[in-house]
Amino acid sequence: MATAIRMPALGQTSDELRLVAWLKAAGETVDEGEALFEAESDKAVHEVESAYSGTLLSVLCEVDEVVKAGTVMGWLGEPGEPVPGVTPPGKAASDDAASPSTASASAAPAPEGDRLAATPAARRVARERGVELSTVTGTGPNGRIESRDVLVAAVDPGPAAPAGAADEPVPPHRRAIAERLHRGLQAPQFAVSRTVDARSALARVAAVQRATLTHLLLQAIGSALAEQPSVNRVWIEDGPHYRRFEQANVGLLIAAEDRLVVATITEPHLKDLADLAQGVTEVASQGRDRRLGASANAPAAVSLSNLGMFGVDRFEAIVDPDQTAILAVGRVIERPAVTAEGIVAVPQLDLTLSVDHRTVDGALAGRFLAAVCAFLED
């Protein structure tokens, strides 16, 4: 009996993923544990391994299609084995044997009595979005309609663009980011801020090759999570209940072209600063290539967003819907300060902690931010 290939749920991301590539073609043999296809979440591109051995009998989803977790993408089995919903060559399908998807696809509109050239995925998306295929312009081979063409047609164009402007569809990864930000803003949030004396922190990173304030900030957040375990948990709507994490992991926001990737750094406060700097450099490179490893997709309650390298003084960040807090950091600024030596210019750093008020109240947010500052000023 043929075995269904389903899109897995990957990491903490949305349940919709983009199929990047099939690594096997229909008719090819697949071994258990062998990479079968690549799927892109809003974090990275993941190689998905086959859970079974067999022959790839059919492929139901095409490259660039956005697929929900759990969707059947194809079938594995023995060569020549019948596949559910697919009529063997030379055999007419009876009305009661035809699958709903096959029946719906055959009912798609056709020009001048001929069947439109469209992929099965495009027909399925058209049914789901209520799009008439006859109104869609195909961009595939010989004008074939692809699922991406249907998605473009499904977007409400709204008012026409004024002179000197042009409309363009929002790519899937930007839609995923927008949806996550919108979800994040549904939770009650507030922010607390502090300014720290950065002299000690700058001296510590200067003593370690390739270390930066970002690495020290990761250590500071990890240390504060270990000290304030009540922050190291997230709100779960089902129940509702809290999910507490055993490890003090920290998320790191990485700018990757037109994307925003969050990579998890595992317990940075337990790592030597030099080792941490090297590890973060590797993870950042993987994040920009959208090929994060499993450890970089581990859950984390708090993330770090550092825009100091772009000349930003201070800002507030939006808490990810699957996290509890995010620390926003600007650039180091020299300001006059009263010290034991008198009034002198002191390098200072502005920190702003945004939190999910369902999980963290003002006092706890203040204690957590104080622990971060103490680590940096020690």
Which of 101, 132, 154 terminates a domain? The answer is: 154
Same domain for 222 and 114, yes or no, is no
Report pLDDT digits (tens) over 361-376.
Answer: 999 999 999 999 999 9
Same domain for 240 and 104, yes or no, is no
Is residue 242 included in any domain, yes or no? Answer: yes
Which of 154, 175, 207 terminates a domain? The answer is: 154
Phi, psi (degrees; rounded to nearest 5) at 339? -130, 180
Report pLDDT digits (tens) over 79-115.
Answer: 888 877 544 444 433 444 334 443 333 333 334 335 6
Same domain for 213 and 113, yes or no, is no
Same domain for 143 and 284, yes or no, is no
Same domain for 68 and 193, yes or no, is no
Instruction: Give the residue from 262, 268, 265 showing the smallest Cα distance to 223.
Output: 268
The structural domain count of the chain equals 2
Question: How far apart (Å, rounded) are the C-alpha atoms in residues 211 and 101?
Answer: 56
Same domain for 220 and 361, yes or no, is yes
Q: What is the pLDDT of residue 100?
A: 40
| 116: CATH | 2.40.50.100
Asked whether residue 271 carries a pLDDT value surpassing 60, the answer given is yes
Question: By residue range, what is the domain housing residue 69?
Answer: 3-154
Same domain for 205 and 297, yes or no, is yes
Asked whether residue 71 carries a pLDDT value surpassing 80, the answer given is yes
Asked whether residue 12 carries a pLDDT value surpassing 70, the answer given is no
Predicted model pTM: 0.68
Same domain for 65 and 212, yes or no, is no
Secondary structure (H, E, C), 228-283: CHHHCEEEECCCCEEEECCCCCEEEEEEECCEEEEEEECCHHHCCHHHHHHHHHHH
pLDDT (average), residues 193-213: 96
Is residue 226 included in any domain, yes or no? Answer: yes
Instruction: Give the residue from 51, 39, 36 showing the smallest Cα distance to 11.
Output: 39
181: number of Cβ within 10 Å: 14
Is residue 43 included in any domain, yes or no? Answer: yes
